[in-house]
């Protein structure tokens, strides 16, 4: 063995003698030196940024209507600090002369509102007790208003005025944290725009670290290492070198493996130096001592070994460094093409067609897919027939925009024999446009009618046993009064229907039925509704709140409990119990009377849940996870149910039927009915696969399965650094019901390990039989 260790030692000596190594180490040192002064300083927000205004259109409307009428009100205090030209523009809204608001004026008003509000932050006469009597202030604001204005520093004055504005407009402005940090360099704040809540620092730094090392080590580092090491194996078989080596009693295969291991020393030294340096910076500057970051060193060594095995085999066969590099690039291109083709076709074209919800509507079976399209089962044609479709005047989403479907519902209303849904509106790009109610009745062949506007920020829609429509969101709870199918005439400016904002329609409107005592809930937010008791449970930033009706039919808080969690979750009523499924994979069965946890489960590790449903009698609960697995629980017997359903890794939706039956969606558009006693299949709703689905199942997916997956080791790095097993496709990690990509941690490891073993075995066999 001494000869083989000598070869490995010589490889390390050769790596240390390489000028390229020392150049790279110098560049890494320079990079770490530039990153070292980066850090965080504590502080509080003293100005508004555009991201702080959750509803710019709603805020502009309130200030324009209330400000000129009462200058002693909070809106009036803000209004008086507006510039003269801005006041002239905004008065057109307050006087309800919408037809005079031009497209350019509306755009300018929405764009400038943040700057105009910031003018109030410097006003020393902004606060007087009479103007703010009806506004509930937090502890920090109450302490600041007690101090004389002339004793406040510039930052204290701005902070006080900001907190006053936040308290006066809680539904339009996101409250700032009293514990925030700012990105700093050499101890100096770079910009107030770069501020974070203290609790968000760790996950953001983890995400940045993951992206940083995947680029600098996983891509650039591996590529440079392949260029540098491409000549190691071919040089081994040069005349003279190979003769000297084979003159000794050594195994050719072990000799090659020794040289291969030694060739990995280059990436080992560079990756270890960079990652250890980042580990120290993350710990010293951000107090993030993540030992799992060090585990990325063997991961990237493994990644390099996969590519180097191709380079080494090519070097043995063609005995040239150029061919080694060329064949490695060809291998990378093949893996990239296969992986990208599979991911693109599945994510953008096929996943939007997957069934996402089942909506039994009387004797009609209606489903919704992930793109928001709605279908009913056609028995005669034996296929899904689209209903409740958007007409030419409505926005229809298709791939790839289907990934961001904003359809809430549909929900069946048995009283009026109709399905009801809502669009969430476009708050992602500026937070201004409201959604609207969508209604389709059986008598009208489920034709979609675009109804009145829903309040901003709606996230859930429910129908009571009396057929009343309720919507909830972080800003409150609203009950619909009137006819939801009455269409509203649009008034569109720059793509925004501002007619919805100013609508005062008496034909149909949403009334705020949340008590004034209820707070504005924070994200992450989820809600569940019990039609039998008309109770709502809200989960907001780890706090459960049970809401019930008072004598005035308003929702008031009957009970609450702090779960000491910051995770988003999904909820579901089950009789006298509530199921709370959190993003970390934890499931809690909670009593709705006391809100105390009775049982806790973690059936599939840290996989995020997607859907919680229960049987009509509240006896059974089902939780569907984003990895396609289903968890069933019997509340009466307090036992988990071991289901015998097939394709346990590909379930897309679940629904309980009467007579102890269960509906499960799988593959893409297949729906299967099971008997819950025996888990035998009762019937299937399955249409014929189209050419794309057929090609995916029988051509693309098999090729992808047998191909090595070096690029997917990024998922392992992401998991090691963030401890997250999935991520949102559209970047909203608080949305558990939306489409998420689940990291398959071990499958690429075993696939790549098998490929590496085969490549080394083939190379060893070739060397042992080749006459050099």
For 276-304, how does the pLDDT look when each residue is reduced to its tens digit (9 = 90+)? 999 999 999 988 898 899 999 999 999 99
CA distances from 331 to 300, 409, 709 (A): 17, 46, 11
Q: Give the mean pLDDT of 96-111.
A: 68
pLDDT at 308: 94
3-class state of residue 598 by DSSP: strand
- Name the pLDDT band for 735 (thresholds 50, 70, 90): confident
Which range, 125-134, 194-203, 503-512, 701-710, is most confident?
A: 701-710
- Mean pLDDT, all residues of the chain: 84
Residue-wise pLDDT for 617-631, tens only, equals 889 999 999 999 999
Higher pLDDT, 464 or 506: 464
Q: How many C-beta atoms surround the C-beta of residue 323 within 10 A? A: 16
Which of 104-108, 204-208, 634-638 comes out lowest in average pLDDT? 104-108
pLDDT at 434: 57
Which ranges constitute the DSSP H helices of 445-556?
Answer: 499-502
Q: Give the mean pLDDT of 676-704.
A: 90
Task: Show the tokens assigned to 754.
Answer: 């098998």
Which range, 130-134, 309-313, 449-453, is most confident?
A: 309-313
pLDDT of 490 higher than 60: no
pLDDT at 598: 93
Q: Give the mean pLDDT of 188-192.
A: 80
Maximum C-alpha span of the chain: 100
Does an H or E element contain 140, and which? helix 139-146
DSSP state of 100: G
pLDDT at 95: 56
pLDDT at 530: 93
Q: Up-side HSE of residue 621: CA atoms within 13 Å toward CB?
A: 29
Higher pLDDT, 487 or 269: 269
Q: What percent of the chain has pLDDT over 70?
A: 89
Count, residues in the chain? 772
pLDDT of 576 higher than 60: yes
Domains of the chain: 2-39+199-347+706-769 (no CATH), 50-176 (no CATH), 356-604 (2.130.10.10)
Q: Which strands, in side-by-side order, build the sheet including 639-641?
A: 609-614, 620-625, 630-634, 639-641
pLDDT at 427: 42
d(CA 715, CA 710): 10
d(CA 471, CA 716): 40
Do 619 and 643 meet the contact criterion of CB atoms below 8 Å apart? no
pLDDT at 64: 85
Q: Give the mean pLDDT of 251-265.
A: 85
pLDDT at 239: 60
Q: Give the mean pLDDT of 304-330.
A: 93
pLDDT of 770 higher than 90: no
CA distances from 483 to 127, 423, 503 (A): 43, 17, 15
pLDDT at 129: 83
pLDDT at 754: 95
Q: How many C-beta atoms surround the C-beta of residue 521 within 10 A? A: 22
In sequence order, what are the beta bridge partners of 674? Answer: 662, 681
Q: Give the mean pLDDT of 228-249.
A: 69
pLDDT of 23 higher than 80: yes
pLDDT at 660: 87
pLDDT of 242 higher than 70: no
pLDDT of 155 higher than 50: yes
Which range, 46-60, 98-112, 589-603, 638-652, is most confident?
A: 589-603
pLDDT at 68: 85
pLDDT at 493: 46
Q: Give the mean pLDDT of 88-115.
A: 72
* Beta-strand pair 670-675/661-666: antiparallel
Q: How many C-beta atoms surround the C-beta of residue 340 within 10 A? A: 11
Residue-wise pLDDT for 364-385, tens only, equals 899 999 888 999 999 888 999 9
pLDDT of 611 higher than 80: yes
- Name the pLDDT band for 595 (thresholds 50, 70, 90): very high
pLDDT of 394 higher than 50: no
The model's pTM is 0.83
- Name the pLDDT band for 193 (thresholds 50, 70, 90): confident
pLDDT of 342 higher than 80: yes
pLDDT of 96 higher than 60: no
- Name the pLDDT band for 738 (thresholds 50, 70, 90): confident
d(CA 630, CA 588): 15
Q: Give the mean pLDDT of 543-563.
A: 91
DSSP 291-324: GGGTTHHHHHHHHHHHHHHHHHHHHHHH--HHHH
């Amino acid at each position: 063995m001494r000869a083989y260790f000598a070869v490995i030692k010589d490889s390390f000596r050769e790596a240390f003698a390489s000028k390229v190594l020392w150049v790279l180490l110098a560049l890494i040192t320079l990079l770490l030196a530039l990153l070292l002064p980066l850090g965080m300083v504590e502080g509080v927000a003293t100005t508004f940024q555009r991201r702080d205004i959750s509803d710019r259109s709603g805020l502009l409307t309130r200030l324009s209507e209330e400000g000129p009428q009462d200058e002693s009100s909070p809106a009036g205090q803000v209004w008086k600090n507006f510039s003269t030209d801005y006041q002239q523009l905004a008065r057109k809204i307050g006087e309800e002369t919408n037809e005079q608001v031009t497209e350019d004026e509306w755009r300018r008003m929405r764009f400038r509102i943040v700057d105009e509000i910031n003018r109030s932050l410097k006003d020393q006469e902004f606060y007087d007790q009479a103007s703010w009597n009806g506004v509930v202030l937090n502890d920090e604001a109450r302490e600041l208003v007690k101090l004389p204005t002339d004793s406040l520093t510039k930052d204290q004055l701005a902070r006080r005025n900001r907190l006053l504005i936040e308290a006066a407009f809680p539904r339009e402005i996101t409250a700032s944290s009293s514990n925030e940090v700012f990105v700093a360099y050499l101890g100096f704040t770079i910009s107030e725009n770069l501020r974070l809540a203290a609790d968000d620092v760790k996950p953001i730094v983890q995400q940045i670290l993951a992206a940083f090392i995947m680029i600098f080590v996983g891509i650039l580092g591996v590529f440079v290492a392949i260029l540098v090491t491409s000549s190691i194996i071919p040089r081994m078989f040069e005349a003279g070198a190979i003769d000297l080596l084979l003159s000794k009693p050594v195994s050719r295969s072990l000799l090659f493996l020794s040289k291969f291991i030694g060739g990995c020393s280059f990436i080992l030294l560079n990756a270890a130096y960079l990652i250890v340096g980042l580990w120290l910076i993350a710990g010293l500057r951000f107090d993030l001592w993540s030992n799992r970051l060090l585990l990325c060193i063997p991961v990237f060594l493994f990644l390099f070994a996969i590519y180097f095995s191709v380079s080494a085999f090519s070097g043995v066969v063609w005995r040239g460094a150029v061919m080694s590099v060329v064949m490695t690039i060809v291998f990378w291109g093949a893996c990239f093409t296969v992986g990208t083709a599979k991911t693109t076709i599945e994510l953008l074209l096929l996943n939007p067609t997957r069934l996402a919800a089942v909506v039994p509507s009387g004797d009609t079976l209606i489903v919704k897919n992930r793109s928001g399209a709605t279908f009913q089962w056609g028995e005669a044609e034996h296929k899904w027939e689209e209903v409740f479709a958007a007409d030419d005047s409505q926005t229809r989403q298709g791939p790839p925009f289907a990934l961001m479907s904003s359809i809430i519902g549909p929900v069946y209303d048995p009283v009026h024999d109709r399905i009801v849904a809502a669009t969430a509106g476009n708050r992602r790009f500026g937070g201004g446009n409201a959604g609207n109610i969508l209604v389709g009745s059986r008598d009208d062949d489920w034709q979609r009618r675009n109804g009145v506007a829903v309040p901003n920020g709606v996230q859930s829609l429910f129908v009571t046993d009396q057929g009343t429509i309720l919507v909830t969101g972080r800003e409150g709870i609203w009950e619909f009064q009137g006819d939801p199918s009455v269409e509203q005439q649009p008034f569109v400016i720059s793509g925004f229907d501002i007619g919805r904002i100013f609508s005062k329609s008496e034909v149909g409107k949403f009334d705020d039925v949340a008590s004034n005592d209820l707070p504005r809930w924070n994200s992450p937010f989820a809600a569940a509704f019990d039609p039998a008791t008309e109770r709502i449970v809200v989960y907001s930033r780890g706090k459960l709140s049970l809401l019930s009706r008072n004598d005035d039919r308003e929702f008031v808080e009957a009970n609450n409990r702090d779960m000491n969690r910051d995770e988003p979750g999904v909820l579901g009523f089950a009789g006298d119990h509530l199921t709370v499924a959190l993003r970390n994979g934890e499931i809690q069965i909670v009593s709705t009377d006391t809100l105390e946890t009775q049982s806790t489960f973690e059936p599939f590790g840290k996989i995020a849940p997607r859907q919680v449903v229960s049987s009509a009698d509240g006896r059974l609960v089902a939780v569907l996870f984003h990895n396609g697995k289903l968890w069933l629980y019997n509340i009466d017997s307090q036992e988990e149910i071991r289901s015998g359903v097939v394709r346990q890794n590909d379930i897309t939706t679940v629904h309980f039927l009467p007579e102890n039956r269960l509906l499960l969606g799988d593959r893409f558009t297949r729906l299967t009915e099971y008997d819950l006693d025996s888990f035998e299949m009762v019937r299937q709703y399955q249409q014929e696969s189209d050419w794309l689905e057929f090609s995916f199942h029988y051509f693309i997916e098999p090729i992808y399965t047998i191909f090595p997956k070096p690029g997917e080791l990024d998922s392992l790095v992401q998991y090691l650094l963030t401890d997250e097993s999935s991520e949102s496709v559209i970047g909203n990690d608080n949305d558990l019901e939306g489409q998420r990509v689940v990291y398959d941690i071990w499958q690429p490891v075993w696939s790549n390990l098998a490929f590496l073993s085969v490549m080394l075995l083939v190379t060893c066999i070739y060397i042992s039989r080749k006459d050099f």
